[in-house]
Amino acid sequence: MSLTIVGSMAFDAIETPFAKTDKTIGGSCTYCAYAASQFTREINQVSIVGYDFPKNELDDLNNLGVNTDGVEIVPDKKSFFWSGKYHLDMNTRDTLITDLNVLADFNPVLPESYQRTEYLLLGNLAPAVQKAVIQQLKTRPKLIVLDTMNFWMEVALNDLLEVLGMIDVLVVNDSEARQLTGEYSIVKAAKKILTMGPKQLIIKKGEHGALLFHGEEIFFAPALPLEEVFDPTGAGDAFAGGFMGYLAKTNDLSYENMKTAIIMGSVTASFCVEKLGTERLKTITTHDVAVRAKQFLALTDFVLA
């Protein structure tokens, strides 16, 4: 099934306790697409870049079956640039620089061929922009998944609440779920969010895994304990991309299959952090994914007498 991904493409400068780069390719859309391409090759990318964005990076995506017709190239502006430094715990980071550049004027226009997409992943953008994308669709997708962040809860809460009524699955981290609801308990926060529009909620907890709330059901996907986390940048996007890619491939929206999809998102996220930027995601194979998915199965497998 066709999957459309909307989000940023960027240059990142990253410093972790174990690695450093002044310039690598990043952006939510980029990570999502590489992760999703492990499962499906019918991907439509919607983003914006400047004159400085390397053509070969778009070629790399095209070669994986990613249609980049929806990636606007602005000839007289620079690409979005983000710079961050991770603390030793790798769970917290300081943003050093955010140069929006082209992203400041991002008004995504869906090419005709994208407007009947069956799966839609709306990356973290202004809620009004996310809404504008939904309004360009000719048919309602089978599944709309939305990522957001605390910033939009502070500056555009009403827009966010409106767009929450138009989607199926919300993806946030634990602190964002708390902020959105004013509830400290994750379970209470989840129950509240499920009254705001989304039918399912995914709460990401970084190195502590992710939770899927689906009606009264709760599924927990652990993160794989890794000997070395090289660079956590993009792990959340790789998670969302893997999740969506697997659903678009299998085209099965049952709770059972969503659980497996969450695991596939955890699998792609676990690869993502092993190298700097998108480096590792670019090289994983179907076999790598299958082997790691089995590791996830073994990680929580137990028997009751």
Residues that bind a copy of itself (CB under 8 A): 17, 88-89, 184-188, 191, 205, 208-209, 211, 217-222, 225-229, 250, 256, 259-260, 262-263, 293-294, 297-305
User: Is the alpha carbon torsion for 159, 165, 171, 176 positive or negative?
Assistant: positive
- Minimum distance from CB of 201 to a copy of itself (Å)? 12
Nearer to a copy of itself, 20 or 140 (CB): 20
- Minimum distance from CB of 300 to a copy of itself (Å)? 4
Asked if 231 contacts 198 with a C-beta cutoff of 8 angstroms, the reply is no
Nearer to a copy of itself, 131 or 280 (CB): 280
Nearer to a copy of itself, 2 or 220 (CB): 220
Asked if 14 contacts 231 with a C-beta cutoff of 8 angstroms, the reply is yes
Residue 91: count of CB within 10 angstroms of its CB: 13
Angle between helices 28-36 and 255-272 (to 10 degrees): 120
Name every residue whose Cβ is closer than 8 Å to that of residue 62 and which is 6 or more positions away in sequence. Answer: 68
- Residue identified by tokens 């000839």 is 75
Nearer to a copy of itself, 197 or 209 (CB): 209
- Minimum distance from CB of 236 to a copy of itself (Å)? 17
DSSP-derived pairing of the beta strands 80-86 and 10-16? parallel
Residue 118: count of CB within 10 angstroms of its CB: 17
- Minimum distance from CB of 234 to a copy of itself (Å)? 20
Residue 250: count of CB within 10 angstroms of its CB: 17
Nearer to a copy of itself, 55 or 184 (CB): 184
- Minimum distance from CB of 229 to a copy of itself (Å)? 7
